[in-house]
């Protein structure tokens, strides 16, 4: 199947999920259009400020874009640390394993020392 079909299926699944989830939440909690939002009922000019729908959607978009960068950076750093730790631990473990199996292979030979095989 072409890649764009997967993309269209994913978009359709998101839209269906959005509407189905919205219906479920409305049935459970009950939406009341007459109830004021906290931005209106607790307006203080700093934390609670009524805004236009355009600004609200822009802020949501920027939050999604910003958090994606943060998560990707954190995930990359986490994976890098895990790879480093796993690499060091496996190197130490393998060295110990080979030293117990074949200690002759890890003898150090310097200029002053010579190794003779009898």
Q: Is 2 helix (H, G, I), strand (E, B) or coil?
A: coil
CA distance 64 to 10: 18
- Residue ranges per structural domain of the chain: 1-35, 51-101
Digit-coded pLDDT (tens) for 17-70: 989 988 998 889 888 889 898 899 999 988 899 999 898 888 887 777 666 666
Q: Does the pTM of the predicted model rise above 0.85?
A: no
CA distance 34 to 49: 18
Digit-coded pLDDT (tens) for 86-118: 666 666 666 666 666 655 555 555 444 555 554
DSSP string, 10-31: HHHHHHHHHHHHHHHHHHHH--
């Amino acid at each position: 199947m072409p890649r764009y079909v997967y993309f269209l299926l994913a978009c359709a699944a998101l839209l269906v999920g959005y509407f189905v989830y919205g219906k479920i939440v409305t049935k459970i909690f009950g939406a009341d259009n007459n109830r004021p939002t906290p931005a209106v009922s607790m307006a203080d000019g700093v934390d609670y400020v009524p805004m236009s729908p355009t600004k609200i959607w822009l802020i949501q978009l920027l939050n999604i874009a910003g958090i994606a960068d943060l998560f990707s950076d954190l995930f990359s750093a986490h994976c890098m640390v895990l790879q480093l730790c796993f690499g060091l631990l496996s190197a130490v473990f393998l060295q110990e394993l080979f030293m117990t199996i074949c200690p002759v292979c890890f003898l150090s030979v310097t200029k002053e020392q010579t190794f003779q095989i009898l």
